[in-house]
Amino acid sequence: MDLAALFPGRRALFFPTVGSTNDLARELASRGAPEGTLVVADEQTAGRGRLGRRWLAPAGTSILLSVLYRPAWTTSEAFRLTMACSLGTAEAVKAITGLEARIKWPNDILVNGKKVGGILAELGWEGERLSYAVVGLGLNVNWDVTTCPEIARTATSLSIEAKKPIDRQGLLKAIVEAVDRCYALCLSGKSEELRGDWERHLDTLNKIVTIETEAGRVQGQALGVDAEGALLVRDGQGQAQRITVGDVVVSSGL
């Protein structure tokens, strides 16, 4: 893939095969690579998901990318990057395929209720401040996921939902541009606008959810997300709970 033509003026590296684009971007970060460095691969041999899971994608079927950021933020502001990446991806999916993409807190991208993509943000910090952040996106584009028993029940791809093959390169360009726009909102002091847009794309909102957290199981109604991206849930006792890490299972709509 000719990334120089697709993203003129940007440090952008393409690999037919790589271990993990996130690992490579972190290595580049430690060697001083600049803000906005983009790593794209056709295939990963050690793709990683959240919570230590694997990320599976046959060669040439998906969008597998990582972007390196160096914002002058504290670590508590870093969730904005996940917001920018998932919202930008949802907007680009809509623009290129016409499909309505929704976001499942904290980092999944859904189409028609099934997972089509995920974000993995990894941070390097010095004290309270970020020294870098790498945000990785895996998106199932032209892939019959029903042939992969591990994910067949819960996942989908854009080609399955659109019932036609998708222009992967056009989508990649649209995603990177849309994510850049969302990130620029934060840099210009409009992160509240980003949070509001992100919340409107959130599939989890107003639903009864169960979340497995390190401190135990929380069940209740998802009310919204705060500025740091934490999910706000009213539990069965009417108490507000603030969830920062966990896996959400949606039980019902309201």
Q: Which of the ranges 61-69, 140-148, 211-219, 235-243 carries the binding residues for ligand BTN, by CB under 6 A?
A: 61-69
Task: Name the residue type at position 203.
Answer: D
**Is residue 64 a contact residue for ligand BTN (CB under 6 A)?**
yes
Least CB distance from residue 46 to ligand BTN, whole Å?
Answer: 7
- For residue 161, give every residue at least 6 positions away whose Cβ sits within 8 Å of its Cβ, in sequence order, or none: 97, 99, 111, 112, 116
**Is residue 119 a contact residue for ligand BTN (CB under 6 A)?**
yes
**Is residue 129 a contact residue for ligand BTN (CB under 6 A)?**
no
Site string for ligand BTN, 86-115 (x = CB under 6 A): ---------------------xx-------
**Is residue 49 a contact residue for ligand BTN (CB under 6 A)?**
yes
**Is residue 121 a contact residue for ligand BTN (CB under 6 A)?**
no
What single string gives the DSSP state of each residue in 96-140?
A: HH---EEEETTTEEEETTEEEEEEEEEEEEETTEEEEEEEEEEEE
- Name the phi and psi angles at 13, rounded to 5: -120, 130
Closer Cβ to ligand BTN, 47 or 220, answer by number: 47
**Is residue 118 a contact residue for ligand BTN (CB under 6 A)?**
yes
Return the residue matching tokens 């606008």: 193
Least CB distance from residue 144 to ligand BTN, whole Å?
Answer: 19
Q: Which of the ranges 44-52, 143-151, 188-196, 215-223 carries the binding residues for ligand BTN, by CB under 6 A?
A: 44-52
Strand order in the sheet with 216-225: 240-243, 231-235, 216-225, 208-213, 247-252
Q: Say how far apart CA 96 and CA 76 lie, in whole Å.
A: 33
**Is residue 50 a contact residue for ligand BTN (CB under 6 A)?**
yes
State the DSSP code for 155: B
State the residue number with the nearest CB to ligand BTN. 118
- CA 7 to chain CA centroid, Å, is 20
Site string for ligand BTN, 130-159 (x = CB under 6 A): ------xxx---------------------
- For residue 177, give every residue at least 6 positions away whose Cβ sits within 8 Å of its Cβ, in sequence order, or none: 88, 92
Closer Cβ to ligand BTN, 63 or 174, answer by number: 63
Q: Say how far apart CA 172 and CA 79 lie, in whole Å.
A: 22
Closer Cβ to ligand BTN, 133 or 220, answer by number: 133
Binding residue for ligand BTN, selected from 7, 12, 20, 103, defined by CB under 6 A: 20
Nearest to 49 by CA among 127, 138, 152, 180: 138
Question: Which residues contact ligand BTN by CB under 6 A?
Answer: 20-22, 44, 47-50, 53, 55, 64-66, 107-108, 118-120, 136-138
